[in-house]
Amino acid sequence: LVRLRQRLAGSQGGFGRGLLALLSRDRLDEDTWESIEDVLLTADIGVAATQQVVEGLRTRMRVEGGAAPDARTALREELVKLVDPAMDRRLQVSGSDGKPGVVLVVGVNGSGKTTTVGKLARILVAEERTVTLGAADTFRAAAVDQLATWGERVGVEVVRGNEGTDPASVAFDAVKDGVDNGVDTVIVDTAGRLQNKAGLMDELGKVKRVIEKQAPVTEVLLVLDATTGQNGLVQARVFSEVVDVTGVVLTKLDGSAKGGIVVSVQRELGVPVKLVGLGEGPDDLAPFDAEAFVDALLG
């Protein structure tokens, strides 16, 4: 948690701290409120959410006779409300009836999908779960090799096909392997070619169907690069229209000054951010905690 704070505060404390500085001014005039709005919009929180926060803050900061309310407390409460601490962020990694849980990981190439699969495997293994990985991103030999390296590093089996093998057949084999060996969780890396919606729908739909012949898909994680801003949101929407996303993994938050994307992606898709990527190392994946996140933003 301390490390999460350091990483977030190091790179993007500016957005929370900037707001706090504005809100702590003696006089909150219209110019100040406009600046507050600009900071929120620049952080990728989105127009509707920005209006909501500004309204909330204006109501709270209206001085009624006595001393002005504490700006930090007011801002913290508004931001926490926005990130929605009530969302269920638990990962569904367990199957039922002796079958493994299956985690399907989707997202565009370069978003950090393969890295996330590796890091997630590491977390589950540390929790003493048994894990098998499926390298169903068969369009890129490099992605398969990369996952194989993660498998060696974490000490889990990686089921792979040759380059160009049907992704669904690799996904099938990986889940079959998991069922046969009685593992707890199978994590399937998928291809992220955003060629067109119909193609993607065909491909991911087929992958999901063949998996479900053997074991339930318990979690569909959409990996999103936090540095891609509004463009990333458009892509996220396409994926969510193609497959029932159950959680978002926001990667590269360490390199983004735009932590506000947490808010906009949750609003856009109606699903919680469950994990955040905070670096390229094996330990740089953390469960998302709304309150810790806001505290980190405020520095």
| Site residues (vs ligand GDP, CB under 6 A) | 107, 109-115, 143, 146, 192, 251-252, 254-255, 277-280, 284
237 is in an annotated binding site: no
Buried/exposed code over 260-288 (b: 16+ C-beta within 10 A; e: otherwise) = bbbbbbbbbbebbbbbbbbbeeeebbbeb
Query: Which residues are bridge partners to 250 per DSSP?
Result: 224, 276
> Given the complex with ligand GDP, which of 143 and 156 has the nearer CB atom?
143
Nearest to 188 by CA among 143, 142, 243, 133: 133
> Given the complex with ligand GDP, which of 202 and 280 has the nearer CB atom?
280
**How far apart are CB 238 and ligand GDP at their closest, in Å?**
15
> Given the complex with ligand GDP, which of 167 and 277 has the nearer CB atom?
277
**How far apart are CB 112 and ligand GDP at their closest, in Å?**
3
**How far apart are CB 285 and ligand GDP at their closest, in Å?**
7
Local structure of 146: helix, strand or coil: helix
107 is in an annotated binding site: yes
Helix (H) or strand (E) holding 67: none
Measured from each CB, the residue nearest to ligand GDP is 277
182 is in an annotated binding site: no
**How far apart are CB 15 and ligand GDP at their closest, in Å?**
18
> Given the complex with ligand GDP, which of 114 and 264 has the nearer CB atom?
114
> Given the complex with ligand GDP, which of 112 and 259 has the nearer CB atom?
112
DSSP designation for 190: E
The CA distance from 174 to 168, in Å, is 10
Residue numbering of the annotated binding site: 107-114, 189-193, 251-254
Residue numbering of the annotated binding site for GTP: 107-114, 189-193, 251-254
